[in-house]
Amino acid sequence: MRNLRTLRTVRRLVGHEVRLLASIGRWVARRPHGIQQGRAFGYARGQGAMMFGFGFVCVLESVCMTVLLRNHPAVHRVWLTLDVYTLLLVVGMHAASVTRPHVLDGTVLRIRRAAHVDVRVPLAAIASVRRELITTHERRDGRLDLAIGAQTTVTLELNTPVRHFTFLGRPRDVHLIRFHADEPDVLVRAIRDEIRDLTRERTAPSPTPGPPV
């Protein structure tokens, strides 16, 4: 059983890294993932400076290690390979955030963060939605916080819990989701409009039957 869990963990880690690397190609080709007929709402703008900083640190470390290991070419090649791969993962993380936006269609809100969070929330399960800037997040049961740049800007309260799977595959039922959007006002208004239209369709009166022939 332990070996099986370890194998599943390794498969999830490898799958996540493959999605990150594939996102670089999508970013270059300007091909967002999973939009189809829905409306996309970005969230990566708030982390651009931070990801650039991570990338700069990786490049700086690589330069420093090149100088320190100049007399050890074999070790230097291994270290350089790790540095390049780490830099690719950093770029892939940002690329995944850009190419995997939140998506809103007529029945579902798809909330995402990079390549490791993808929660589908039925609009019928949303009790309330509001713009709410929060910069401190404490982990609690039943709540999912998806901060970008240490902040969330949209809060969803649900009347029916939805299932979220953690990075390593553990299921969690959540009834409150806080996440970030670059344009929270626009997203909140769009969600409310979709919910209003969905409610109107469900409560529309049935057509009056015509006279018998």
pLDDT means over runs of 10, the chain (213 residues):
76 90 94 92 89 88 88 89 92 95 94 95 96 89 92 96 89 95 96 90 59 45
**What is the residue range of 83's domain?**
2-34+44-99
- What are 43's two structure tokens? 């969230």
Domain co-membership, 88 together with 136: no
Domain co-membership, 13 together with 85: yes
Domain co-membership, 7 together with 81: yes
**Rounded to an integer, what is the distance from CA 30 to the centroid of its chain?**
17
Question: How many domains does the structure of the chain reveal?
Answer: 2
What confidence score (pLDDT) does residue 92 get? Answer: 95
Domain co-membership, 176 together with 110: yes
**Rounded to an integer, what is the distance from CA 114 to the centroid of its chain?**
4
Residue 213, in any domain of the structure:
no
Q: Name, in order, each residue with C-beta under 8 angstroms of 137's C-beta and a sequence gap of 6 or more.
A: 145, 147, 152, 178
Domain co-membership, 188 together with 123: yes
Report CA dihedral (42, 154, 104, 111) to the nearest 10 degrees. 80
Match 């939140």 to its residue by tokens: 102
Domain co-membership, 95 together with 131: no
The model's pTM: 0.86
Domain co-membership, 17 together with 55: yes
Domain co-membership, 116 together with 69: no
Match 């291994």 to its residue by tokens: 78
Domain co-membership, 23 together with 91: yes
Residue 39, in any domain of the structure:
no
Of the residues 82, 99, 116, the one at which a domain ends: 99
φ and ψ at residue 60, rounded to 5 degrees: -65, -40
